[in-house]
């Protein structure tokens, strides 16, 4: 997993708590209060972690950056990003600046410190990457509520939040002016943690992701969906039917209700068998059917070959997902 989820150093937290309660608390609470396997803590504890130093004041981007030119590049990126372009209505003041996320900066850029060390004191900022994942995400969620991004309402229960993946794990805000991945970059981002899935997409029969024609986000929403597996639809019939209408019907003669779940027969990412099937025919079908020889089939018996056992079932049962046409016998046989 990504960096920064080791033991959290609680110097910050401790300082805040200390200010709020007693100075005595500092030494006791530092460093070992939260263990590596972290229990859920009340939301206000995460909130406290994001307050920053109570002894510091907000000094504004200009003063921050003047004191520390190494961050000019970050500032240039931010300025041209969606974030930098947000202004407080009517005032023209930036809605999002360095201190919005990193906490008040006066201590970090204090003249004393800078004169001695020739750079700002980064230890005075909120140690974002050392906080528990839930606190890191809260940093973003204080603005990105479900009002602005509907699926965020499912974030807390998503597989990602529960596995301590945080918003900054995927949104590297200082890498450039873009604040989110686009196109194929999305697949690469997902592969960076889901290496096993990459190999599924390199099998012979697969969805065309490697070609860049599809994205993981065509089927999954990394922010949560309320459906298992972060899937964007509640069931496969709907999900797969978005693009494969002919496979879902409805048909007069359906393959019972087996096609309700496409994964009964198909892999969803890729497979080593044609048509992304779980197994090759006839074995796929023989899981549920006994199969048959040439009884009553219009194409049989052929001369000299009595009782041939059919192996490629879909040569005849070609409408495997369903059909509106009755077959030669009482059922439809899914043959035409």
98-127 binders of ligand HEC (CB under 6 A): 98, 100-102
Which residues within the stretch 6-35 sit at the binding site for ligand HEC (CB under 6 A)? none
Report the nearest approach of ligand HEC to the CB of residue 37 (Å).
14
Name the one range near ligand HEC by CB under 6 A: 33-41, 43-51, 71-79, 111-119.
71-79
Report whether 309 contacts 297 (CB < 8 A).
no
Which is it for strands 270-271 and 253-254: parallel, antiparallel or unpaired?
A: unpaired
Of the two residues 22 and 305, which places its CB atom closer to ligand HEC in the complex? 305
The two three-digit tokens of residue 151, written as one number = 């699926």
- For tokens 């697969």, name the residue: 206
Residues 153 and 200: their CA atoms lie apart, in Å, by: 30
Binding mask 300-319 for ligand HEC (x = CB under 6 A): ----------x--xxxxxx-
Which residues within the stretch 173-192 sit at the binding site for ligand HEC (CB under 6 A)? 173-174, 178-181, 186-187, 189-192
Report the nearest approach of ligand HEC to the CB of residue 227 (Å).
10
Residue 160 within binding range of ligand HEC, rule CB under 6 A: yes
Among 74, 106, 119, 153, binds ligand HEC (CB under 6 A): 74
Report whether 132 contacts 34 (CB < 8 A).
yes
Contact partners, residue 186, CB within 8 Å, separation at least 6: 215, 216, 217
Among 48, 141, 210, 251, binds ligand HEC (CB under 6 A): 141
CA neighbor of 108 nearest in space, from 179, 171, 61, 56: 56
Which residues within the stretch 283-302 sit at the binding site for ligand HEC (CB under 6 A)? 284-285, 287-289, 291-292, 297, 299
Name the one range near ligand HEC by CB under 6 A: 18-26, 30-38, 43-51, 215-223.
215-223
Report the nearest approach of ligand HEC to the CB of residue 147 (Å).
9
Which residues within the stretch 234-273 sit at the binding site for ligand HEC (CB under 6 A)? 236-237, 239-240, 242-244, 247-248, 253, 255-256, 258-259, 262-266, 268-269
Report the nearest approach of ligand HEC to the CB of residue 49 (Å).
13
Of the two residues 27 and 192, which places its CB atom closer to ligand HEC in the complex? 192
Among 11, 19, 128, 203, binds ligand HEC (CB under 6 A): 128
Residues 203 and 76: their CA atoms lie apart, in Å, by: 43
């Amino acid at each position: 997993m990504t960096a920064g989820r080791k033991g959290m150093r609680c110097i910050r937290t401790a300082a805040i708590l200390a200010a709020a309660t007693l100075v005595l608390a500092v030494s006791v609470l530092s460093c070992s209060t939260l263990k590596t396997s972290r229990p859920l803590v009340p939301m206000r504890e995460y909130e406290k972690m994001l307050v920053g130093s109570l002894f510091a004041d907000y000094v504004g981007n200009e003063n921050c950056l003047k004191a520390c030119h190494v961050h000019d590049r970050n500032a240039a990126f931010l300025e041209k990003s969606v974030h930098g372009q947000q202004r407080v209505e009517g005032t023209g003041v930036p809605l999002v600046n360095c201190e919005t996320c990193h906490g008040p900066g006066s201590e970090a850029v204090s003249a004393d410190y800078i004169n001695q060390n020739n750079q700002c004191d980064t230890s005075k900022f909120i140690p974002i990457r050392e906080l528990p994942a839930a606190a890191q995400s809260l940093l973003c969620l204080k603005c990105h509520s479900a009002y602005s991004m509907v699926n965020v309402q499912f974030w807390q229960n998503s597989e990602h939040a529960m596995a301590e993946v945080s918003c900054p794990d995927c949104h590297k805000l200082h890498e450039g002016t873009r604040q989110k991945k686009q196109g194929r970059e999305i697949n690469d981002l997902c592969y960076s943690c889901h290496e096993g899935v990459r190999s599924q997409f390199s099998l012979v029969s697969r969805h065309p992701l490697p070609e860049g024609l599809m994205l993981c986000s065509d089927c999954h929403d990394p922010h949560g969906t309320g459906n298992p597996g972060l899937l964007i639809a509640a069931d496969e019939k709907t999900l797969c039917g978005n693009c494969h209408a002919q496979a879902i019907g409805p048909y007069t003669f359906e393959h019972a209700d087996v096609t309700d779940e496409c994964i009964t027969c198909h892999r969803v990412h890729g497979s080593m068998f044609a048509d992304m099937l779980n197994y090759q025919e006839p074995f796929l079908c023989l899981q549920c059917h006994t199969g048959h020889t040439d009884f009553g089939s219009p194409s049989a018996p052929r001369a000299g070959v009595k009782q041939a056992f059919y192996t490629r079932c879909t040569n005849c049962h070609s409408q495997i997902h369903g059909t509106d046409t009755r077959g030669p016998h009482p059922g439809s046989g899914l043959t035409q």
